[in-house]
Amino acid sequence: MDKENLSFKLCQNCQQEILLSNRFCNHCGKSQLEIDKQVHENKWLSLQQVALFFTIEVLCCASSFLIEENNLFTLYFLDAVMAISAIAFFGYSWIENKIILKWPNFSFLKLTWLIIATILTSVVVTFLVNHLNRDLLHKDLSYYSIFEFHKYGRYLMFASMALYPAIFEELAYRGYLMQKLLTVVDEKEAVYISSVLFFIIHFSFLSIFWLFPFALFLGYLRIKTKTIWYGVFVHFFFNLTACFLDLYPLEDLYKMIF
């Protein structure tokens, strides 16, 4: 017998002492699952809330495809809508969500190692993605083109490609979504579902090879460390490296040094 099974509680109906593990009172037959019922109804509600939030995200991302001329204004407008919705949904369940904004067991060493590993991975991934795009799809993707005309284009690019996703995507996916999913499913499934949603929102099927494992890793990090901050840093440095390589391609850097 488990030790915890032998502790007692009071029946909700007849107030007699019963075992904590009892699903029904052995004196009056009353079900002790009333609290479970509440939890169960909340599960379906949680899923609906998740669906609503994700629909807003999808609509924002999809409308950028529908707009013929993508300029900085529409980009920032949609970013702002997504950021506000992420904050609103996160704040709506503030009591249960605030715990992951804390940073327990902060370890500078761990963070440094994570950042170094992230930068190295990002270099490899960017290199592979560029080659995949060029050789297989005959496309040359550049994030910079949309920012090029602006005087501070580089800084704007770093802000909207590295800083913005690091904070708000983490808040939305590893923060709000995962916290809600954990009330419905177990940890493994929550990591898995949030990663799939994170992959889907990027609207790129080819990126499954690196985006999905990346999301799984961020989800694992969030569960393991019980904070979103390691994820924020990893995400930031991953995107920052990709942006940097977009401005200064590896081939050019190689030529400069040698």
Task: Tally the C-alpha atoms within 13 A of residue 189's C-alpha that lie toward its C-beta.
Answer: 7
Q: Is 197 in the site for other proteins (CB under 8 A)?
A: yes
Q: At 94, list the tokens.
A: 């503030």
* Residue 230 and residue 107 in contact, taking contact as beta carbons nearer than 8 Å: no
Q: Is 34 in the site for other proteins (CB under 8 A)?
A: no
CB closer to other proteins, 33 vs 120: 33
CB closer to other proteins, 124 vs 208: 208
Q: What angle, rounded to 10 degrees, do the helices at 208-225 and 229-247 form?
A: 150
Q: At 1, list the tokens.
A: 């017998």
In DSSP notation, 216-230 reads HHHHHHHHHHS-SHH
Q: Is 155 in the site for other proteins (CB under 8 A)?
A: no
CB closer to other proteins, 35 vs 257: 35
| Near other proteins in 81-140, by CB under 8 A | 136-138
Q: At 50, list the tokens.
A: 């998740």
Cα dist. 125→50, 136, 192, 214 in Å? 30, 16, 21, 11
Report residue 24: phi and psi, to 5°: -130, 150
In the block, residue with structure tokens 């030529």: 255
Candidates 15-23, 78-86, 171-179, 224-232; binding stretch for other proteins (CB under 8 A) = 15-23
Candidates 89-97, 188-196, 228-236, 250-258; binding stretch for other proteins (CB under 8 A) = 188-196
Q: Is 65 in the site for other proteins (CB under 8 A)?
A: yes
* Residue 87 and residue 77 in contact, taking contact as beta carbons nearer than 8 Å: no
Q: Minimum CB separation from other proteins for residue 114, in Å?
A: 26
Q: Which of 7, 15, 31, 145 binds other proteins (CB under 8 A)?
A: 31
Q: Which of 77, 143, 192, 229 binds other proteins (CB under 8 A)?
A: 192
Measure the N-to-C terminal CA separation of the chain; round to a whole number of Å: 70
Q: Which of 36, 96, 251, 252 binds other proteins (CB under 8 A)?
A: 36
* Residue 118 and residue 109 in contact, taking contact as beta carbons nearer than 8 Å: no
Q: Is 172 in the site for other proteins (CB under 8 A)?
A: no
Q: Which of 1, 95, 109, 256 binds other proteins (CB under 8 A)?
A: 1
CB closer to other proteins, 123 vs 193: 193
The torsion defined by the Cα of 164, 165, 168 and 171, in degrees rounded to 10, comes to -140
Which residues contact other proteins (rule: CB under 8 A)?
1, 18-19, 21-31, 33, 36-37, 40, 43-44, 47, 54, 58, 62, 65-66, 136-138, 184-185, 188-189, 192-193, 196-197, 200, 203, 205-206, 208
